[in-house]
Structure 1
Amino acid sequence: MQKQLSFSVEKGDANEQYDDDGKIRRTGTLMSASAHIITAVIGSGVLSLAWCYGQLGWIAGTASLIIFAVITWFTCLLLSDCYRSPDPVTGTRNYNYMQAVKANLGGLQYKFCGIAQYGILIGATIGYTITAAISMAAINRSNCFHKNGHHEGCHTLNNSYLLIFALIEIVLSQIPNFHKLSLISIVATIMSFTYATIGIALSIAKIAEGGHQRTSLTGIPVGKDMPSAEKMWNTFSAIGDIAFAYSFCPVLLEIQDTLRSSPPENKVMKRASTVGVSASTLFYMICGTLGYAAFGNDAPGNYLTGFGFYEPFWLIDFGNLCIVIHLLGAYQVFIQPFFAFVENWSKEKWPQNKFITQEHSLGKVKINIFRLTWRSVYVVLATLVAMIFPFFNSFLGLIGATTFWPLTVYFPIEMYISQAKIQKNSFTWIWMKVLSLACLIVSLVAAAGSIRGLVVSVESFKLFQSMS
Structure 2
Amino acid sequence: MSKEYQKNSMYVEKSTETLENGGLEKNFDDDGRPKRTGTLLTASAHIITAVIGSGVLSLAWAIAQLGWVAGPAVLMAFSFITYFTSTLLADCYRSPDPVSGKRNYTYMDVVRSHLGGFKVQLCGLAQYANLVGVTVGYTITASISMVAVKKSNCYHEHGHHEKCKISNIPFMIIFAAIQLVLSQIPNFHKLSWLSILAAVMSFAYSSIGLGLSIAKIAGGGHARTSLTGVTVGVDVSGSEKVWTTFQAIGDIAFAYAYSTVLIEIQAKSYLFSYYFMPTNTLRSHPPENKVMKRASLFGVSTTTLFYVLCGCAGYAAFGNDAPGNFLTGFGFYEPFWLIDFANVCIAIHLIGAYQVFAQPLFGFVETYCGERWPESEFITTEHVVKVPCCGEFSINLFRLMWRSAYVILTAVTAMILPFFNAFLGLIGAASFYPLTVYFPIEMYIRQANIPKYSFTWTWLKILSWVCLVVSLVAAAGSLQGLASELKTYKPFKT
Q: TM-score, normalised by structure 1?
A: 0.91
| Match in the other structure for 1:193 | 203
For residues 159 and 227 of structure 1, do their structure 2 counterparts lie closer, same or farther at Cα, with a shift above 3 Å needed?
Answer: same
Matches within 5 A, 1:297-446: 297-307=320-330, 310-360=333-383, 363=391, 366-446=394-474
- 1:99 corresponds to 2:109: yes
Matches within 5 A, 1:83-232: 83-176=93-186, 183-232=193-242
Over residues 106-151 of structure 1, what are the superposed CA-to-partner deviations in whole Å (9 max), with x where a residue is unaligned? 1211111111111111101111110111111111111112222223
For residues 92 and 174 of structure 1, do their structure 2 counterparts lie closer, same or farther at Cα, with a shift above 3 Å needed?
Answer: farther
Over residues 367-388 of structure 1, what are the superposed CA-to-partner deviations in whole Å (9 max), with x where a residue is unaligned? 4443333222211110110000
Letter in 1 for 2:451: Q
For residues 166 and 348 of structure 1, do their structure 2 counterparts lie closer, same or farther at Cα, with a shift above 3 Å needed?
Answer: same
Letter in 2 for 1:262: S
Letter in 2 for 1:347: G
Cα distance in 2 for partners of 1:160, 1:247 equals 30
Q: SS of 2:355's equivalent?
A: helix
Range with bigger deviation, 327-336 or 138-147 = 327-336
CA deviation after TM superposition for structure 1 residue 216, in Å = 0.5
| Match in the other structure for 1:453 | 481
Cα distance in 2 for partners of 1:427, 1:120 equals 33
CA deviation after TM superposition for structure 1 residue 301, in Å = 0.4
Cα distance in 1 for partners of 2:218, 2:355 equals 38
For residues 385 and 14 of structure 1, do their structure 2 counterparts lie closer, same or farther at Cα, with a shift above 3 Å needed?
Answer: farther
Range with bigger deviation, 82-91 or 403-412 = 82-91
- 1:290 corresponds to 2:299: no
Whether the 8 Å CA contact 2:208–2:342 is kept in 1: the answer is: yes
Whether the 8 Å CA contact 1:25–1:260 is kept in 2: the answer is: no
CA deviation after TM superposition for structure 1 residue 214, in Å = 0.2
Range with bigger deviation, 75-84 or 448-457 = 75-84
Q: SS of 1:114's equivalent?
A: helix
Letter in 1 for 2:221: G
Range with bigger deviation, 335-344 or 206-215 = 335-344
For residues 6 and 101 of structure 1, do their structure 2 counterparts lie closer, same or farther at Cα, with a shift above 3 Å needed?
Answer: closer
CA deviation after TM superposition for structure 1 residue 22, in Å = 4.1
Over residues 353-377 of structure 1, what are the superposed CA-to-partner deviations in whole Å (9 max), with x where a residue is unaligned? 3333344555365544433332222
CA deviation after TM superposition for structure 1 residue 11, in Å = 7.2
Picking from 242, 262, 278, the partner of 2:284 is: 262
Whether the 8 Å CA contact 1:251–1:337 is kept in 2: the answer is: no
| Match in the other structure for 1:7 | 16
Over residues 328-350 of structure 1, what are the superposed CA-to-partner deviations in whole Å (9 max), with x where a residue is unaligned? 23223322222222122112111
Range with bigger deviation, 184-193 or 337-346 = 184-193
Identity %: 64
Over residues 37-84 of structure 1, what are the superposed CA-to-partner deviations in whole Å (9 max), with x where a residue is unaligned? 334321221111111111100110000101101110111111122222
For residues 6 and 166 of structure 1, do their structure 2 counterparts lie closer, same or farther at Cα, with a shift above 3 Å needed?
Answer: closer
For residues 30 and 366 of structure 1, do their structure 2 counterparts lie closer, same or farther at Cα, with a shift above 3 Å needed?
Answer: farther
For residues 308 and 69 of structure 1, do their structure 2 counterparts lie closer, same or farther at Cα, with a shift above 3 Å needed?
Answer: closer
Letter in 1 for 2:55: G
Q: SS of 2:153's equivalent?
A: helix
CA deviation after TM superposition for structure 1 residue 260, in Å = 4.8
For residues 408 and 262 of structure 1, do their structure 2 counterparts lie closer, same or farther at Cα, with a shift above 3 Å needed?
Answer: same
Whether the 8 Å CA contact 2:246–2:478 is kept in 1: the answer is: yes
Range with bigger deviation, 417-426 or 313-322 = 417-426
Cα distance in 1 for partners of 2:418, 2:349 equals 19
For residues 114 and 230 of structure 1, do their structure 2 counterparts lie closer, same or farther at Cα, with a shift above 3 Å needed?
Answer: same
Range with bigger deviation, 367-376 or 273-282 = 367-376
Letter in 1 for 2:24: N
Cα distance in 2 for partners of 1:441, 1:91 equals 34
Query: How many corresponding residue pairs?
Result: 462
| Match in the other structure for 1:55 | 65
Cα distance in 2 for partners of 1:277, 1:11 equals 41
- 1:45 corresponds to 2:55: yes
For residues 155 and 289 of structure 1, do their structure 2 counterparts lie closer, same or farther at Cα, with a shift above 3 Å needed?
Answer: same
Q: SS of 2:24's equivalent?
A: coil
Letter in 2 for 1:458: L
Over residues 259-309 of structure 1, what are the superposed CA-to-partner deviations in whole Å (9 max), with x where a residue is unaligned? 354334333433433333222212111110110011100001001123465
For residues 352 and 19 of structure 1, do their structure 2 counterparts lie closer, same or farther at Cα, with a shift above 3 Å needed?
Answer: farther
Tell me how large the CA RMSD over aligned residues is.
2.4
Which consecutive unaligned segments of at least 5 residues does structure 2 have?
1-13, 269-280
CA deviation after TM superposition for structure 1 residue 221, in Å = 1.4
Which consecutive unaligned segments of at least 5 residues does structure 1 have?
none
Q: SS of 2:418's equivalent?
A: coil
Over residues 215-245 of structure 1, what are the superposed CA-to-partner deviations in whole Å (9 max), with x where a residue is unaligned? 0010011115422111111100100110010
Range with bigger deviation, 126-135 or 148-157 = 148-157
Letter in 1 for 2:236: M
Whether the 8 Å CA contact 1:11–1:22 is kept in 2: the answer is: no
